[in-house]
Chains A and B, each alone.
Chain A
Amino acid sequence: MAGNLMRKVSLIELLFVPFFLLLIVYPIAAIIFNLTPAGIAKTFADPLFWTSVGSTILTAFFAALMGLALALGFGYYYIFRKGTVMYRVADFLNDLPIALPHTVAGLALLLAFGRKAFGFAGPTGLAFTLFAVTLAMFFVSYPLAARTIASGADEIEREVIDVARTLGDSTTRAYQRVVIPLMGEGIISAFILSFSRSISEFAAVIMFGGNVPGQTQVLASYVFTKVEEGEVAMAVTASAFCILIALFLVVGLRMRGKFHA
């Protein structure tokens, strides 16, 4: 016991612990400590809050499904078409969004699918609809799903795929019959990660989907609106709600043992 108390503390520990507590833990705790019964009551009585919760879950779910589907397409290139230009472009673009402000992503979508390009869908094209919110979430979360699928593919023994080919499978069939079933966990991780990334997206969503209360408003933009309106207690409640959802997702990922994003 004395040995335990006397254990030498390294300089790194001395630096890490206070900074970590101050800059990471303390802000999260600040949300929780600022929760007030009145703020909770007012927020939970606000139908716009519940609409934004519903919209968030709905759009993030479909964005994650789309992200997973396209990521599985990327996985095919990753395994079977590594030499192609298409693969190299796709691989490169998986890394690009890391350095890209998401307002830029939102603007890109607006220019591509907004009024000028898709005017037939309404005066503002696809913009400022729940579908636009979904596309914005998908745009920023797909690269994460693609990279998760690629690392899932790395776990599969190459010779297993090779044998399937000699047994008469085309590359597409081998992908369906061997790669996808063996990737199981990677697929779930990819889905949860892109769902998480979708829920957390704000900039691209606001640029392309807008922030129309009761329509395209999601939790991230609800928090923003409430701060702007000076309803800090409501913003705090909605934020605590976001932290709760995030906790569930992180626990879900941890249980898959694959949290590396």
Chain B
Amino acid sequence: MLEVQNLVKAYGDLRVLDNVSARIENGRILVIIGLNGSGKSTLLKVITGILPCDNGCVRIDGQDVTSLEPEDRKIGYVPQSTALFNHLTVRENIIYSQKNGRGSPDGFEAVVSMLNLRGYLSKKPKELSGGYRARVALARALYSQPSVMLLDEPLTEIDHAKKEQMLPEFKQVLHQLNIPVLYITHDPREAELIGDAFAVMYDGKLKTIGTTEEAFEIIRAQVLAGAGIA
């Protein structure tokens, strides 16, 4: 279980996270929808420990990890850019965490077949298409046997047809882990296909919602209000 409580993060006067709270049970995928610049990536970076927060706390399976370094949090993180290690092969990317005592040979076989990466293991990331880079980034995080998965718009480089094909597969893979998953997107269709629950982020605030339609009503209202129309 992942819980964040009253997270605050500010850059000068700009409150990028303004008292964000959320809770995700094991085996559930929470999708956060929001416009660019609404603070989504910042939220994930605070949860991973890469960015310190000004206030609030992060709990994983009941343990307060707020003051732990990123390497001690056991969080699987797929950043917005996929951020593969270009100097390593696909295989070396996936088992990167092995040297830090994570993952297992069985786990490696499992993620490779789950994500259909068998034929790509000795390639370098630069030889891969966007879709395969996303698969490797996911595989690398899954291999490390995390207690939480955070994905920041992992499929931005991929076209809609491809997404329709990959998302059900990703959803199945993520459900099998039985850990909390936080998935960020600004594509409503993507949210629909991957999510079990939804939340919308605007102006650094997070609001849980029932359906993706609600997200867009809230965002539209925000945009209109921001433009001084509503």
Chain A: minimal CB distance from B74 (Å) = 8
**Closest Cβ neighbor of B77 among chain A residues:** A166
Return chain A residues, CB-CB under 8 Å to B79.
159, 162-163
8 A Cβ contacts from A137-193 to B:
157, 159-160, 162-170, 173, 177-178, 181-182, 184
> Does B96 have its Cβ within 8 Å of any Cβ on chain A?
yes
Return chain A residues, CB-CB under 8 Å to B15.
none
Which residue in A159, A167, A173 is a CB contact (below 8 Å) of B144?
A: A167
Interface size on A, residues (CB 8 A): 18
Bound together, the chains give a CA A170 to CA B100 distance in angstroms of 10
Return chain B residues, CB-CB under 8 Å to A178.
85
Return chain A residues, CB-CB under 8 Å to B71.
165-170
Return chain A residues, CB-CB under 8 Å to B96.
164, 167, 177
Bound together, the chains give a CA A165 to CA B144 distance in angstroms of 12
Chain A: minimal CB distance from B9 (Å) = 16
Return chain B residues, CB-CB under 8 Å to A181.
87
Return chain B residues, CB-CB under 8 Å to A162.
45, 48, 50, 70, 77, 79, 83
Number of A-B residue pairs, CB cutoff 8 Å, is 68
Return chain B residues, CB-CB under 8 Å to A182.
85-87
Bound together, the chains give a CA A160 to CA B133 distance in angstroms of 13
> Does B226 have its Cβ within 8 Å of any Cβ on chain A?
no
Query: How would residues 188 to 214 of chain A score, 1 for a CB under 8 Å from any chain B CB and 0 otherwise?
Result: 000000000000000000000000000
Q: Known contacts being A157-B81, A160-B85, is A165 close to B69, with CB within 8 Å?
A: yes
Return chain A residues, CB-CB under 8 Å to B99.
168, 177
Bound together, the chains give a CA A201 to CA B101 distance in angstroms of 48
Bound together, the chains give a CA A157 to CA B79 distance in angstroms of 11
Bound together, the chains give a CA A163 to CA B75 distance in angstroms of 10
**Closest Cβ neighbor of B78 among chain A residues:** A163
Bound together, the chains give a CA A178 to CA B87 distance in angstroms of 8
Q: Known contacts being A181-B87, A182-B86, is A166 close to B81, with CB within 8 Å?
A: no
Contact, CB under 8 Å: B81 / A167: no
> Does B91 have its Cβ within 8 Å of any Cβ on chain A?
no
Bound together, the chains give a CA A166 to CA B46 distance in angstroms of 12
Chain A: minimal CB distance from B182 (Å) = 13
Return the 6 tightest CB-CB contacts between A and B, nearest first: A168-B100, A165-B70, A159-B83, A167-B97, A159-B79, A166-B77
Provide 24 A-B residue pairs closer than 8 Å at the C-beta atoms, listed in order of the A residue.
A157-B81, A159-B79, A160-B86, A162-B45, A162-B48, A162-B77, A162-B79, A163-B79, A163-B140, A164-B85, A164-B96, A165-B69, A165-B70, A166-B50, A167-B96, A167-B140, A168-B101, A168-B102, A169-B71, A170-B71, A177-B99, A178-B85, A182-B85, A184-B87
